A and B are shown apart, each in its own frame.
Chain A
Amino acid sequence: SQSSEKHLGQFYTLPSAHFRPLFPHGLPYRYQQQVKTFNEACFMVRPPALEVISYLKKADYSKPALRYLFYGVKGSGKTMSLCHAVHFCYTQGWVVLHIPDAHLWVKNCKELLPSSYNSARFDQPLQATTWLRNFRTTNEHLLSQIKTKRRYVWTKRESTDEGRPLGELVNQGISRVKSSSDVVGALMKDLRLQSSQPGADFRLVVAVDGVNALWGRSTIKKENKSVDLEELTLIHNLKKLMKNDWTGGAIITTLSQTGSLYTPKSAYLPQELLGETGFDSMDPFIPVSVPNYSEKEFESAYLYYLDRKWLQHPQSRTEDGKKELSFLSSKNPSMLDRICGFL
């Protein structure tokens, strides 16, 4: 991916070999449908993603990890920019810790188990196992190379020794559902420790979508009492990851209002969505705003749809039709996608 300023506004296709492992999760649903329809995954090169990629290229990885935060109105392309940056990291051979949507972990939980590690906390085995599976698909080639640094004891009979490949750890988590959340925690801790070491041969990128869920509220109820966020193992471990006390990697996040609980629809700025505690813990970070399409980007998106023969209506091919589309969607990527969907 030769992404540079020259390619601003143009689409580049993801090789399908990369697509299957990289994005088992993490893409917006509508985009996934579009990929299935067009049989190819195309990203538009846009300034926010380019900015983050350039920082990633120039960053000094012996310093603590830099935090990047994508923010913008609903549907402006934050998740897509995140995925673009993640793809770049993947091509560079980094270990990708991609959490598709942190909001999924704080709501609609069907099973809650008291944690085996710490009895005050709660586990979410289902979400943890799904995530571990996806993690394995993404980072398969690297998991065999990285070794654990510590010994983990799961139950009386099961334990993972030091020096075993991480892949085994992950498999352990997938097979033993009850301890999967602890596996997740252990994985995160291990990766963090290892990437901080100067001799490490890999870099870690932590990509979290909807990071404002970590400091919001949750709707999970345990015996009619709503569960506090601190009591969830997954969230707890993720928050530890968010702290930039480790080196040798980067943290890329997005804010999301769509999945967030108890926030007004018009909120999209970091202060509003992260809240006091969230802002303080994320501070310092590099905010990157993701605006709606500019004129040029809109043109290129329109031409892409034309090229793929997505716009069937005869009037949509005229100049006037283009102006109409730009007006009606107000150059918002998701609105444009929705409108073109039935043309």
Chain B
Amino acid sequence: MAASCVRTVGSFLGKCGNCSSSLNTVTSQLSRQVLSRQICVSTALKKNLAAGGPEKFTVEFIQKQVEEFDIGKRHLANMMGEDPENFTQEDIDRSIAYLFPSGLFEKKARPLMKLIFFPLHEAVQWGADGRPFHFLFYTGKQSYYSLMHKLYSKILNIEKHQDRMRAKGLFSQDTKEISLDTSRWLTKEELEVLLVETISSNNYDRFIQLMERLLSMPYCNMEEEFVLHYRRPLEARSKKQMVPVPERDDKGVAFSTSDGRRKTSNSSVVLRDCGSGRITVNGQEYLHYFPVLQDREQLMFPLQFMGLLGRFDLQCTVSGGGRSSQAGALRLAISRALLSFLSEGEQETMRQAGLLTPDPRVRERKKPGQEGARRKFTWKKR
């Protein structure tokens, strides 16, 4: 049927209907007829476009958008009275926020003028004739399978090299090994990002198996660069507590500063090695600031635990929170400041006593449909 063949041709072309320069692949006269037909079927194709999946953009389309963005940027710079040549993205953001003030709370919903580059897989993968560029396009995961192919070809190369060496009689087992200690394999998510397409966990396992097989062969250092491309360095995680460094002030007294936090209270403590046991909180006597015995006990606990009560002079500042949380914040700050005056074993005892752990308990949010965070409304049977 004429109508149906028109539709099929149109759907074929509709996907590249946005592109203008892919015509160079098709040089026959058919193209002109196709073009002329394109105009009259464009309206009928709108439904098919939606069914085809996420909209795909060609490279040319992206380039055109970039040019339009530049022109718009220059217009904006002229409007704001600034230099169009040196108009950075920050300036754009500022100008847009000024010209279109928005009261929306969600930052991502506000007006935006930025080039968001489309991921590669949304670029169209086939030419104007509908023939895909990549030979593995119809596998669905073209970049993954092409990577596997490449890997396997490298393995074959190495085996060939091995055979050649054996033939010459220069085969040796102890070649330079690739150092793998300080790095780890890419995670599945990172590999997906690299390949710009989703892979299943089976695929990922196969990939790792192939890599391991490559590394198990003697002459793998030939492909060292290729392998290291797929490894990430391990961050050195220090398990030790950061101990504040004690300094000496002008009188030669060793002192250390540290902070502590507990449930919206922030505190900072300067611990001096004087010899008197005086404590100042926010400029006041601590007896006056903490009239309750419990708070003073909290302050006392780190010093008393180590038996160093009368030795230090404390100068504390604390803000936020309530009475108890301020006391807790100060306690944490004191124990951290004390670390620098203690030996390793004593630090370990403090850690085990729980003096160095910041208390993670924060006020829980009230949920809708409940009266408090946990309390439900009174249950009525009817």
Binding site for B on A (CB under 8 A): 73, 265-266, 320, 323-324, 326-330, 332, 335, 339
Contacts and interface: CB of A to CB of B under 8 A. Distances in A.
Interface residues of B, number: 16
B300 A327 contact: yes
Contact of B288 (A266, A324, A329): A266
B300 A330 contact: no
B287 A330 contact: yes
Given A320-B304, A339-B293, A326 B277 contact: yes
Nearest to B300: A327
A335 B287 contact: yes
B218 to A, nearest CB: 68
A266 B285 CA distance: 10
B59 interface: no
B238 to A, nearest CB: 34
B297 interface: yes
A73 B293 CA distance: 18
A327 B288 CA distance: 13
A326 B309 CA distance: 10
B56 interface: no
Contacts of B277: 323, 326-327
Nearest to A328: B296
Interface in B309-325: 309-310
A117 B234 CA distance: 95
Contacts of B293: 328, 339
A73 B288 contact: yes
B309 A327 contact: yes
Interface in B43-67: none
Given A324-B300, A339-B293, A330 B285 contact: yes
A335 B287 CA distance: 9
11 contacts: A73-B285, A266-B288, A320-B304, A320-B307, A320-B309, A324-B304, A326-B277, A327-B277, A327-B303, A330-B286, A339-B293
B284 interface: yes
B63 to A, nearest CB: 72
A327 B279 CA distance: 9
Given A326-B277, A327-B277, A332 B309 contact: no
A40 B286 CA distance: 33
B288 A328 contact: no
A73 B296 CA distance: 18
A328 B300 contact: yes
B287 A332 contact: yes
A289 to B, nearest CB: 15
Given A73-B288, A266-B288, A335-B287, A328 B297 contact: yes
A330 B277 CA distance: 9
Contacts of B300: 324, 327-328
Contacts of A339: 293
Contacts of A324: 300, 304, 309
